[in-house]
Amino acid sequence: MANHLSRRDLMRGVLAGAVSLAFTPAASVQLGPPPGVITLRYNENPYGPSPGALKAAAEAAALGAYYPGAIETDLLRVIARRNGLRLENMVLSSGSNEALQAALVAWGKKGRILLPELTYSDHLDYAQRMGVELVRVPLRKDMSIDLETIAAAVNDSISLVYICNPNNPTGMTLDGDMLRDFCRLIGNRAVILVDEAYIELTDKPQYTSVVDLVSEEQNVVVMRTFSKIFGMAGLRVGYGMARPDLAQTIAGHVMAWPNGVGLAAALASYTDEEFINISRAKIFEGREMVNETFRKNGIEPLASQTNFVYADIGRNATEFRQLMATRNVLVRGSFEHYPNYLRVSMGKLEELEVFDRVFNELYQSSGHMGGEIHKY
């Protein structure tokens, strides 16, 4: 009986339990998609982490007893140098979502947040739960962000404007100089937070990014992540770049700092041009495959400069997503007021071949064929 167990018996039991746990087959640890399931719904990049990142992560894990330490500044210094900035311009966070949330909460205390409808929203939901007030501006008819209307809506009540470029879920990109003009125009009235999570996948990353405005000391915050081109979504590293006073405000509101494993992997990836080029090339190839799947079904997707494609499939996207899920292919259904738009993230090329097969079959057998070409 349990209450007659000696201390030694107890220790033996605990140790036996620990040993059996240690030998539990790895298959019971569920990280990433379950076996046989193709996940094309969170804009992850399955080509990462790079081999160099994996090696660095394993070495860092062996030192997991210690808080990360100097690697935080080592990483930020490398990123700052590449962007012509100083350490004071940098803020680190656990995935960029954390820094985005911190920024919205910080400026949400000073006023309302202005942003387009249909944009990345995890941080917005969090900010609203924290009592931050959001003001939304509709997209243009062609689904692009309406900078003119946003600029006209910046009044004394607005403390920050959030722009995601390229935008998620549309995948569409604002012209770099247009956005620069916008930032210079309204920067004396509000902070402009530009989320550049997918910037490395745009046609002209250097031109499209507004990071040069940070060197100009404009009222601009640029947010980036290691989750996309670097394929490290599970390792949780993101960063912001801004004038020192703005960076400090965000740092003061960040709650979760990155872990040493993620930081080591990020440092190993950041300058790994060979991996970056492979990653980008695979994503572009996958994007063309998905565009082609849509087009051969009479659907014209929006022009994406990201690792996902967004398209009006002419029928309810959430219902169609559910149908695809019965075949173990997971995509994203409707967002906001766009019930017929489906979003597909770039998986591995062989996964996108399965997507192609399943999409064709289900699209052509369920409901009418999208005979009409949707142009944007």
Q: Does 197 interact with ligand PLP (rule: CB under 6 A)? A: yes
Q: Judged by CB under 6 A, which of 50, 89, 101, 168 binds ligand PLP?
A: 168
Q: Does 170 interact with ligand PLP (rule: CB under 6 A)? A: no
Q: Does 218 interact with ligand PLP (rule: CB under 6 A)? A: no
Retrieve residue 78's tokens: 């490398």
Q: Does 120 interact with ligand PLP (rule: CB under 6 A)? A: yes
Residue nearest to ligand PLP (CB): 95
Q: Does 241 interact with ligand PLP (rule: CB under 6 A)? A: no
Q: Does 195 interact with ligand PLP (rule: CB under 6 A)? A: yes
Q: Does 301 interact with ligand PLP (rule: CB under 6 A)? A: no
Question: Hey, which residues between 261 and 300 contact ligand PLP (CB under 6 A)?
Answer: none
Q: Judged by CB under 6 A, which of 68, 95, 171, 286 binds ligand PLP?
A: 95
Size of the site for ligand PLP (CB under 6 A): 13
Q: What whole-number distance in Å separates Cα of residue 331 and Cα of residue 214?
A: 36
Q: What whole-number distance in Å separates Cα of residue 218 and Cα of residue 115?
A: 19
Please state the closest distance from residue 340 (CB atom) to ligand PLP, in A: 21
Q: Does 164 interact with ligand PLP (rule: CB under 6 A)? A: yes
Maximum alpha-carbon separation in the chain: 78
Q: Does 304 interact with ligand PLP (rule: CB under 6 A)? A: no
Q: Which helix (H) or strand (E) holds 53?
A: helix 51-62
Q: Percent helix, strand and coil across the chain, each rounded to 5?
A: 45, 15, 40
> Do 151 and 182 form a contact (C-beta atoms < 8 A)?
yes
Residue 309's DSSP bridge partners are 344
Q: What whole-number distance in Å separates Cα of residue 36 and Cα of residue 49?
A: 21
Q: Does 312 interact with ligand PLP (rule: CB under 6 A)? A: no
Q: Which helix (H) or strand (E) holds 167?
A: none
Q: What whole-number distance in Å separates Cα of residue 103 and Cα of residue 126?
A: 11
Q: Does 144 interact with ligand PLP (rule: CB under 6 A)? A: no
How far CA 209 is from CA of 129, 147, 150, 354, in Å, comes to 30, 16, 19, 34
Q: Judged by CB under 6 A, which of 89, 101, 170, 227 binds ligand PLP?
A: 227
Q: Does 97 interact with ligand PLP (rule: CB under 6 A)? A: yes
Angle at 241 between CA 183 and CA 60, to 5 degrees: 155
> Could you tell me which stretch among 54-62, 92-100, 207-215, 350-358 binds ligand PLP (CB under 6 A)?
92-100
Total Cβ atoms within 10 A of residue 122: 12
Positions in the binding site for ligand PLP (CB under 6 A): 43, 95-97, 120, 164, 168, 195, 197, 225, 227, 233, 238
